[in-house]
Amino acid sequence: MKIINQKPTAVPPDLPEANLNGGTPMPRFQKKPQVFLETYGCQMNEYDSELVRTILKKENYEFVPKEQEADIVMLNTCAIREHAHRKVYGRVHAIRHARNGKPVMIGILGCMATNLRQELFQDRSLKIDFIAGPDSYKRLPALIDEAVVDGKKSFDVTLSEFETYADVYPSRKEGVNAWIAVMRGCNNFCTFCVVPYTRGRERSRPVTNVVEEVKRLADDGFKQVTLLGQNVNSYRHEEDDFASLLEEVSKVKGIERIRFTSPHPKDFPDRLIDVVAQNPKVCNQIHLPLQSGNDRVLEMMDRTYTRQEFMGLVDNMRKRVSNLVLSTDVIVGFPTETEEEFEDTLSLIRQVEFDSAFTFKYSQRKGTIASKKYPDDVLEETKTERIMRLNDIQKEITYQKNRAHIGETHTILLEPATHTKSKNEMVGRTDGNKLVIVTTPAASTHKVGDMVQVRITDATPHALKSDMLL
Ligand code: SF4
């Protein structure tokens, strides 16, 4: 295994010594170590936290629902935006403060661990005890041991070229949808993104290994799987590409629906689009990150496509996939983005009419190409003003798209309800992943996990409303 980062097991000389648990020696665990794990950021982090649960449970650790009950608190962090960092610093201080000097070990996992390891250890006020990057979770028991037994700060942020945790079956909560990481890392190096530095190079799990996990999920009652990857459609294992993986996963009995996220526009051959169009289990819903509608900005972002090529891909997808539901990601205020160039983004948004969009203000990240090459010169208030204009336009488009479904009949997968106001309401999602609030007739015996027919009766910018067809 080629190691990209130096893999010290003890603290390098330039980092403060023996500041474990805020200086108070950590008593050996009298009973099963109690762990509280908090997750930030993307679905990949949610999945990784499920892996961490399995790895530590095997070593006789116990997970507790409340932070106060824990001997060890672990934060699985995100490095995508400044806001995420500040949140973690605030949390660590709050945890120590709440303990009022009582012993607790604090460990930092995830992308911030890799990106800000030095800062996290050098900030004495944080008193971090151990750090593990996204490829080092199998070393967590050893890292915790090192910290407890040797009383030393321990860390491992090795970026692996091989680790896919293919031999670890995640500890999931019950549900209808299960997330499965089919590949890890990213080779794209979009200039604004830290992922290639915090999660390393792309590597994919064998198709048989993924199918094995899907079969276990079907046995555990899951009805839908969402295949995950930082750049999921560049999945490749020996001769198998993402299209063949989707086909194999769709053969698993008991799984009704297959979704995937997050793809890159450059990896959508017709073969893959046709699997989405023709395979009844693969949902007609694609998340297609745009980021900007202007060619100069797209080039500075190193997104490898032009505005016209992106439009061409959208046209090709809409021609091949009926009732396609498209969503996207957009960044506003990228360095040197002018008002005219932002207008290009708005005009593309109006032209494509995505069903929904995740919008972000550019946030400079330590270590990215953009942070080294481009000054973050678009004013914060300009970024705010631009994202509000973009959100207003997109909200209206989403609303009209949702209203266009009124009168239609859809098959939805009923899911655990978090959005219902009354007991004769259930929620589910269309094939296009649109949330539907269903009024259930008294006679209904339907339950979470059922696929049911509904007629859409109303819509808001956030959800569809419907009557259930018995
Ligand atoms: S494809 Fe996505 S994860 Fe990869 S560098 Fe670009 S933005 Fe980051």
- In angstroms, the CA 274 to CA 122 distance is 52
Q: Which atom of ligand 1 is nearest to the CA of 189?
A: 5
Q: How far is the CA of 289 from the centre of ligand 1 (A)?
A: 10
pLDDT digits (tens, 9 = 90+) for 101-120: 788 999 999 999 988 888 88
Higher pLDDT, 44 or 417: 44
Q: With contact defined as beta carbons under 8 Å apart, do 95 and 73 qualify?
A: yes
Q: How far is the CA of 214 from the centre of ligand 1 (A)?
A: 26
- In angstroms, the CA 160 to CA 1 distance is 7
Give residue 149's pLDDT band: very low, low, confident or very high (50, 70, 90).
confident
Q: Give the closest residue (by CA) to ligand 1 atom 3.
A: 230
pLDDT digits (tens, 9 = 90+) for 419-465: 666 778 899 999 999 999 998 877 788 899 999 999 999 999 999 99
User: CB-based contacts of 29: which residues, under 8 Å, 6+ apart?
Assistant: 71, 148
- Element holding 84 (H helix, E strand): helix 82-99
pLDDT digits (tens, 9 = 90+) for 356-401: 999 999 989 889 999 999 999 999 999 999 999 999 999 999 999 9
pLDDT digits (tens, 9 = 90+) for 211-231: 999 999 999 999 999 999 999
> Could you tell me if the CB of 144 is within 6 A of ligand 1?
no
- Residue 179 has a pLDDT of 95
> Could you tell me if the CB of 333 is within 6 A of ligand 1?
no
- In angstroms, the CA 12 to CA 397 distance is 54
> Could you tell me if the CB of 186 is within 6 A of ligand 1?
yes
- Residue 147 has a pLDDT of 87
> Could you tell me if the CB of 188 is within 6 A of ligand 1?
yes
Give residue 32's pLDDT band: very low, low, confident or very high (50, 70, 90).
confident
Q: What is the pTM of this model?
A: 0.91
| Most ligand 1 atoms within 8 A of CB, residue of 111, 188, 267, 365 to mutate | 188
- In angstroms, the CA 300 to CA 225 distance is 35
> Could you tell me if the CB of 368 is within 6 A of ligand 1?
no
Which residue bears the tokens 């999921």? 232
pLDDT of 330 strictly over 90: yes
- In angstroms, the CA 176 to CA 379 distance is 43
Q: Which amino acid is at 120?
A: L
- Residue 28 has a pLDDT of 53
Q: With contact defined as beta carbons under 8 Å apart, do 20 and 152 qualify?
A: yes
Instruction: Tally the C-alpha atoms within 13 A of residue 243's C-alpha that lie toward its C-beta.
Output: 13
- In angstroms, the CA 428 to CA 64 distance is 30
| Most ligand 1 atoms within 8 A of CB, residue of 43, 187, 189, 190 to mutate | 190
The pair of three-digit structure tokens given for residue 13, joined into one six-digit string? 């000389």
> Could you tell me if the CB of 234 is within 6 A of ligand 1?
no
Q: How far is the CA of 16 from the centre of ligand 1 (A)?
A: 34
Which residue bears the tokens 């079956």? 169
Q: How far is the CA of 24 from the centre of ligand 1 (A)?
A: 41
- Residue 116 has a pLDDT of 83
- Residue 73 has a pLDDT of 96
Q: Which atom of ligand 1 is nearest to the CA of 262?
A: 2
| All domains in the chain, ordered by first residue | 34-156 (3.40.50.12160), 172-283 (3.30.750.210), 310-404 (3.30.750.200), 409-469 (2.40.50)
Q: Which atom of ligand 1 is nearest to the CA of 187?
A: 4
- Residue 18 has a pLDDT of 42
Q: How far is the CA of 199 from the centre of ligand 1 (A)?
A: 11
Alpha helices in 232-379 (DSSP H): 242-249, 270-278, 295-301, 307-320, 339-352, 369-373
Q: How would you classify the pairing of strands 72-77 and 236-237? A: unpaired
Question: Quick check: helix, strand or coil at residue 98?
Answer: helix
For 103-129, b/e burial (b = at least 16 CB within 10 A) is: ebbbbbbbbbbbbbbeebbeeeebbbb
- In angstroms, the CA 333 to CA 386 distance is 8
